[in-house]
Amino acid sequence: MFTTSALAPAKFVLGDEGMYLFNDLPTGLLKERHGFEPTAAWADHLRLSSVRFNSGGSGSFVSSDGLVLTNHHVASDTLHKLSSPERNLIDDGFLAKTNEEELAAPDLELNQLVSIEDVTGRVNEAVDDDASTEDAAAERRAIIARIEKESLDQTGLRSDVITLFGGAQYHLYRYKKYTDVRLVWAPETAAAFFGGDADNFEYPRYNLDATIMRVYEDGKPAKLEHFLKWSEVPLSEDELVFVSGNPGRTQRIYTVEALKFLRDDRIPYVLDFLRRKEILMQQFGLEGTEQARRARDELFGIQNARKAYTGMLGGLQNPQTIATKSTQQAELLRMINNDASLKPLAKAWDEIASLQAEKRDMLRRGVTLRSTLFSYALEIVLLAAEDQKPDEKRLRGYTDAARESLLQELYSTAPVYTDLEQVKLADELSLLIENRGAEDELVLKVLDGKGPRERAAELIAGTSLVDVDARKSLVEGGSDAVDASDDAMIELAKTLEAEYRSVRETNEQIEERERQAYAKITEAVTKIKGTGGYPDATFTLRLAFGTVKGYSEDGEFIAPFTNFAGAYQHANDHAGQDDFDLPESWMEHEADVDGDVQLNFVCTADIIGGNSGSPVVNRAGELVGLIFDGNIQSLTSDYIYSDEQGRAVSVSGVGILEALRSIYDAKALAAQIGK
Amino acid sequence: MFTTSALAPAKFVLGDEGMYLFNDLPTGLLKERHGFEPTAAWADHLRLSSVRFNSGGSGSFVSSDGLVLTNHHVASDTLHKLSSPERNLIDDGFLAKTNEEELAAPDLELNQLVSIEDVTGRVNEAVDDDASTEDAAAERRAIIARIEKESLDQTGLRSDVITLFGGAQYHLYRYKKYTDVRLVWAPETAAAFFGGDADNFEYPRYNLDATIMRVYEDGKPAKLEHFLKWSEVPLSEDELVFVSGNPGRTQRIYTVEALKFLRDDRIPYVLDFLRRKEILMQQFGLEGTEQARRARDELFGIQNARKAYTGMLGGLQNPQTIATKSTQQAELLRMINNDASLKPLAKAWDEIASLQAEKRDMLRRGVTLRSTLFSYALEIVLLAAEDQKPDEKRLRGYTDAARESLLQELYSTAPVYTDLEQVKLADELSLLIENRGAEDELVLKVLDGKGPRERAAELIAGTSLVDVDARKSLVEGGSDAVDASDDAMIELAKTLEAEYRSVRETNEQIEERERQAYAKITEAVTKIKGTGGYPDATFTLRLAFGTVKGYSEDGEFIAPFTNFAGAYQHANDHAGQDDFDLPESWMEHEADVDGDVQLNFVCTADIIGGNSGSPVVNRAGELVGLIFDGNIQSLTSDYIYSDEQGRAVSVSGVGILEALRSIYDAKALAAQIGK
């Protein structure tokens, strides 16, 4: 049974639902329900000890000299980029014995949230009430660019205006950026992702999904004022814990019609897409061990998403889900229609409904070819054109405020594997044909009379964007250089630029209308149910809370904790199956490890993808765990939270310490963390 | 460059295109091009030595005492059904040292084509010229049922009326059936499918994709008059060879609009479907080694189809393909429109074009839930209802003539794995929701208020169709038993029956209109280009021919032969990769094997899926090879033949002998074959 409401202000929330804003914490609720009152200092310290990874994930500072804890699967993008056939960090793990041995990530950016400012008034004032959708979107984009630019100029901090409650609020987030990030320790994937795709999103689990990095400033380990102390005390059942991280995206505010679009159109489309890419990456990997190595990180990400979306769709396809949501929505609309002052807001639900058909039409219109080299090309072409415009008229991501982060990505020194790129590009061309039709004029132009495979080979052979220097010289040469370039990939990007802009513009107008409608829905709900809730996730810092707690499944009780002894047993139980062999280091040190030490645990905190790597802290603000997964029953939490069986899954803090000390010969590192 | 025409009478055929009817062999062409004149005796002997497998594939009689040669991958359905955790024929292979040790297949039926009779006149007479599509389809179904029933009653032979040239001709095929088929020898999958999915459809290859069975009559090895002698002479380059087998389906007759439907709708849909099932089976297999064993045979079939369709789509997405076909079609239509007597036939092309939209609409309308237990249930429900009707009014497959084959399938003793069934059924329910919409009334009825997973679990728990006896008692109890049954799967089939019939009826009407249109197209083409061609494949016996010949790829010459030494080398080259380990038997006997003996070879014969297991014979009619694959360049041959690079891939006859003698300790068996 599901236990939440469509939009959920605190007092209507049951269980431990909620991903709260750090500038609007549920203090009353926490006090009432858990007898805990977070002080401002407690919250500020936790916020400033938390970081966001631009590779998509969360982390925390865990020492005064710059150590950062995150998941292995958040770090894996970097591990992959730092690997070569000769140095396979993914298979073999890594430990730097000295600072000198630490490996610099080629394109990581870590963000520490320094301040939050509500700029809703300023944004709304700048948008004319009577403006057309197009104008409103342009005005909003302009004021946001202006606010961000001003803030950047004034503070030097990364400044992002975040849209909250679907468009009811706008907050300016200022981040301190760390771009010199180095790898300190990573376990073998066999330990981090023990059980592989089979165990992913399952529980009980036995995964050491942890990696430690270090942030540097001016070439030296950063001196940090805020970092988490590390608890050496095992967790207890029912213990209250907090999660500080960056949940990526939820759709709790979604109306019934919007959920139906997910159920009937978007998720089935995405799943077909993901399965297609999964098979593609598998097939590439079959060509040889080196090819398998090259495809592996992407394959893992695809499989992870495929399993998550499968769970989401399963929940939505259960007729009870929509029935429950429909009942809640009907009740809400009844109350709104009974109140003359609110009644005009009811139209927002109709607007959302009518937008779904437009969103459906756009599903197959995109022209972005998902390959690293094409992305580089398109970004270079767009940047050259956007640079010709005043800052406020530019596309999001191409403003002055965003430039540094964009260049960080464009100038990445990560290897680009052209064989893999070619296979991906061929498939993207094939998908473009399927989506837009084989006789679409643009498609014919793109193919240039060739089949997808032949054309992809030609494009890869004709581009020099593999070289960072080639990218730099095009960026620095600006629109003249881009215009003059006969690089095949740049030419392809120029061919697609106009349609890319048109599709993006249409999508942004749909988003604008959604924002306006959801802002009205939020207004109506707030008026009926009161304030104090939390907005849908936006890959920005949130606080969730919950208790350490097992659950029942098929009549059996699943205990909240697993331990090291269980890991060895699990390997035994699945002997001979892929991904169930513990690495050599674990086998060698089996006698050294205390089997009773907690390895993984579950709690009821409300999390979602993007929370991976989030620190779990106790009342004292000490690190006790590291979020790395949700169980299969939590996969519906994109649109509905339930603590009946849904759980967040973490590596326990004491487990990481035990592994560092007893398995990884990393006592010195273990001694540094938390200090 | 493609080198064939839309519909291809012999004199317009280039290269060695063609899958010829045994009652219309290209004798003139063979004489002219290859100086070979097949006698009637030669052709009859080859036809009567050929068999068709109801599991989908071809084979040949290779000894006087009933030995049958086919592919391991054709036999794998049977190997899988005969396997258990304790007896893993798929992994370990099999050799019966005595007749008593031979293992009876649970549901195989082999068909030997005894005679062919042209019944076009009789079929066409029975169909009223002015009949509505619905009536025409019914009339045609009725006359076909009558012809088949009469033939069965008169001869006792399986009698099938085959629709040829898209509907321009109808031939009555009479088959002798063999239903007591036993396994004699199978190699390990590691040898048969060496290189796995990676090497599938690739060349050079090194696969021992062969299995030997034996047909029995009255409990004794069948005494066969017709069987193939087995050549001990290695093949030579450019040697003329013949393939006698049952190509499944081609679309060479297809108009440009019909090909566009394949390109834009059908194949993308099928590929999404296959990738979905591939991931599903993989996921099931991840649960454990026994689960992997259970899913393996189906997974292989899915992967094989996915790779084949990917190749087909790649060809169609090359703008040149449709351009070539369009030019040919335009030229043909120009000639037709210039001839007053033919001009009316040009409308057939418009009819085909307009049918494509209807076919597109039907793609997602089906309600057949692909699971063994649901198939049993639906067949039982349909059979009970059809039995109430006169024979001529029944659905195809439910007539008296078809009954024995249907019961052979329904009473199969092959194990049914309910865990696998449940996973498949859950996915089919999910797909049904996606295809028909979550609010479709029938879908809601099927789900009964539950999600796909929960509903599938309930259905599997509530059916007893796993037991052969339960199926028998329902079949024998007829409609009374079916009406009274509260078996969950039978009830589900009853719920879906009406819609199944409606969808089937619509599809049959579309097919009827296609038949009528393609018959006209055939008429027009024949009048312009003359007779002597071959009809599209219909999973009935055909003769193809070609020469043993290498080809060029990326500027390199690919030799036509591989040998045993190459197999060991290939294993070495791919050490550490999945599916590239030769089995123990091969490693143990490496010193015993003559490395120079031919293992695989390619030729230019025109084949397609269904030809798997076909014998390849020389001018003397002796077996020299065993078709098992086409190379990747041949995957477009569904709709266009090319011998520039496209090749059929075979195991060489001498290679099979060498393996039996030197690796499998099966000298006695080797001594029997061909004798």
Q: What is the ipTM of this complex?
A: 0.92
List, as ranges, residues 12-41 from A with C-beta within 8 Å of B: none
Judged by DSSP in three states, A213 sits in strand
Q: Is the confidence at residue B556, as pLDDT, over 50?
A: yes
Q: Is A4 among the domain residues?
A: no
Q: If we measure between CA atoms, which residue out of A546, A535, A541 comes closest to residue A624?
A: A546
Nearest to B623 by CA among B596, B593, B657: B657
- pLDDT tens per residue across span B105-162: 999 999 999 999 999 999 999 999 899 988 998 999 999 999 999 999 999 999 999 9
Q: Helix, strand or coil for residue B171?
A: strand
The pLDDT, as a whole number, for residue A10 is 39
Q: Which pLDDT value is given to residue B133?
A: 87
pLDDT digits 0-9 by tens, A620-668: 999 999 999 999 999 988 888 989 899 999 999 999 999 999 999 999 9
Q: Is B663 left (phi over 0), alpha (psi -120 to 50) or beta?
A: alpha
pLDDT band of B4, cuts 50, 70, 90: very low
| Chain A contact present for B447, CB below 8 A | yes
What is the least distance, in Å, from the CA of B317 to any CA of chain A? 6
3-state DSSP call for residue B21?
strand
Q: Are residues B183 and B305 in the same domain?
A: no
Of A260, A453, A578, Cβ closest to residue B314: A453
Q: B463 in a domain, yes or no?
A: no
Distance CA B542, CA B247 (A): 7
Which residues contact residue A559 at a Cβ distance below 8 angstroms, ignoring those fewer than 6 apart?
A204, A550
Does residue B519 fall inside a structural domain? Answer: no
Determine, yes or no, domain membership for B378.
no
Nearest to B438 among A288, A317, A430 (CB): A317
CA distance B313 to B320: 13
d(CA A538, CA A534): 11
From B313, B332, B349, the end of a domain falls on B349
On whether the CB atoms of residues B605 and B546 are closer than 8 A, the answer is: yes
Q: From CA B508, how far away is CA B493, in angstroms rounded? A: 20
Report the alpha-carbon distance of residue A401 to residue A177 in Å, rounded: 13
Q: Where are the alpha helices (DSSP H) in B59-162?
A: 72-81, 89-92, 120-126, 133-155
How far, rounded to the nearest angstrom, does the alpha carbon of residue B58 sit from its chain's CA centroid? 8
Domain boundary among A313, A339, A357: A357
**3-state secondary structure (DSSP) of residue B556:** strand
How far is it, in rounded angstroms, from Cα A484 to Cα A474?
Answer: 10
Do residue A278 and residue B275 have CB atoms under 8 angstroms apart?
yes
For B431, the closest chain A residue by CA position comes to A268
- Cα A407 to chain center, whole Å? 20
Q: How far is A188 from chain B (nearest CA, A)?
A: 19
Contact B279 A278 (CB under 8 A): yes
Q: Are residues B555 and B658 in the same domain?
A: yes
Contacts of B284 (CB under 8 A, 6+ apart): B291, B292, B294, B295, B419, B420, B423
Residues B51 and B186 in one domain: yes
Cβ–Cβ contact B257 with A under 8 A:
no
Q: B196 and chain A: CB distance < 8 Å anywhere?
A: yes
Q: For residue B265, give the chain A residue with the closest CA.
A: A434
Helical residues (DSSP H) of A13-86, grouped into ranges: 27-34, 40-48, 72-81
Task: Supply the DSSP symbol for A212.
Answer: E
Q: What angle do CA B532, B534, B540 make, to 5 degrees?
A: 140
Is B592 domain-assigned? yes
Rounded to whole angstroms, how far apart are CA atoms B228 and B620? 10
Chain B partners within 8 Å of A457 (Cβ): none
Q: Note whether B144 and B155 are within 8 A (CB).
A: no
Q: Where are the alpha helices (DSSP H) in A363-399?
A: 372-386
On whether both B102 and B209 belong to a single domain, the answer is yes
Token pair 């394949």 is found at B262
Residue B15 reports pLDDT greater than 80? no
Distance CA B91, CA B85 (A): 11
Using CA atoms, how far apart are residues B360 and B349, in angstroms rounded to an integer?
A: 17
Specify the length of chain B in residues.
675
Q: Are residues B574 and B601 in the same domain?
A: yes
C-alpha B81: how far from its chain's center? Answer: 19
Q: Which residue has tokens 């509260």?
A: B486
A451·B317 Cβ contact <8 A: yes
Q: What percent of chain B has pLDDT over 90?
A: 91
* Domain of residue B22, CATH code: 2.40.10.120
What angle is formed at CA A271 by the lines to CA A265 and CA A277, rounded to 5 degrees? 135
| Whether B103 contacts B129, CB under 8 Å | no
Same domain membership, residue B195 and residue B89:
yes
Mutate to test the interface with B, among A434, A439, A458 (most CBs of B within 10 A): A434
CB contact under 8 A, B196 and A286: yes
Q: Given this model, what pLDDT does residue B12 score?
A: 47
Same domain for A668 and A547?
yes
Contact check, Cβ <8 Å, A271/B276: yes
Co-location of B291 and B225 in the same domain: no
Residue from the list A272, A292, A317 with its beta carbon closest to the beta carbon of B430: A317
| Phi, psi at A31, each rounded to 5° | -65, -50
A263/B306 CB distance under 8 A: no
Same domain, A346 and A245: no
Residue B152 lies in a domain: no
Structure-token match 């023990």, residue found = A194
Whether B542 and B613 share a structural domain: yes
A615 close to A626: Cβ distance less than 8 angstroms: yes
Peptide bond into A204 cis (omega under 30): yes
**Reduced to 3 states, what is the DSSP secondary structure of residue A377?**
helix
CA distances from B368 to A50, A313, B210, B431, B447 (A): 52, 21, 33, 11, 15
B271 part of contact set with chain A, CB < 8 Å: yes
Locate all alpha helices (DSSP H) within B561-616, ordered by sequence: 564-573, 584-588
Q: Does A442 touch chain B (CB under 8 A)?
A: no
Residues B211 and B272 in one domain: no
Taking CA atoms, what residue in A is nearest to B579? A286
Residues in chain A: 675
Give the residue from B265, B275, B281 with the most A CB atoms within 10 Å of its CB, the best one to mutate. Answer: B275
Task: Choose one of B331, B349, B367: the last residue of a domain.
Answer: B349
Give the residue on B whose Cα is nearest the Cα of A429. Answer: B317
Residues in chain A predicted with pLDDT less than 50, given as ranges, are 1-12
More reliable by pLDDT, B376 or B3: B376
Chain A residues in contact with B574 (beta carbon < 8 A): 288
Query: What's the pLDDT tens digit per position in A600-621?
Result: 999 999 999 999 999 999 999 9
**Residue B472 in domain:** no
Tell me which residue in A272, A292, A318 faces B450 most closely, judged by beta carbons: A318
**B595 in A contact zone (CB under 8 Å):** no
Total domains present in chain A: 2
Q: Which residues contact A27 (CB under 8 A, 6 or more apart)?
A: A37, A38
Q: Is residue B607 part of a domain?
A: yes
Specify which residues A656 forms β-bridges with: none
Expressed as residue numbers, the domain containing B309 is 262-349
DSSP A78-141: HHHHT--SS--HHHH-EE-SSGGGPEEPSS--EEEEEEEEE-HHHHHHHS-TT--HHHHHHHHH
Assess whether B226 and B270 both reside in one domain: no
The pLDDT assigned to B526 comes to 87
What is d(CA A238, CA A560) in angstroms, rounded to the nearest whole number?
9
- Per the listing, tokens 């021992």 go with B208
Give the N- to C-terminal CA distance of chain B in Å, as an integer: 44
Name which of B198, B317, B320 is nearest A433 (Cβ-Cβ): B317
The full DSSP string for B229-294 is: -B--SPP-TT-EEEEEE------TT--HHHHHHIIIIIHHHHHHHHHHHHHHHHHHHHT-HHHHHH
Q: Does residue A276 belong to the interface with chain B, where contact is any CB pair within 8 Å?
A: yes
The total of other beta-carbon atoms located within 10 Å of residue A129's CB is: 6
Inter-chain contact A433–B260, Cβ cutoff 8 Å? no
**Is the minimum CB–CB distance between A314 and chain B shorter than 8 Å?**
yes
Closest residue in B to A202 (Cα) is B287
Interface of A with B in 353-412 (CB under 8 A): none
Two tokens, residue B94:
């099999």
Q: Count of A–B CB contacts within 8 Å?
A: 107
> CA-CA distance, A95 to A585, in Å (whole number)?
13
Predicted confidence (pLDDT) at residue B10 exceeds the cutoff of 80: no
Question: Bridge-partner residues for B648, per DSSP?
Answer: B603, B630
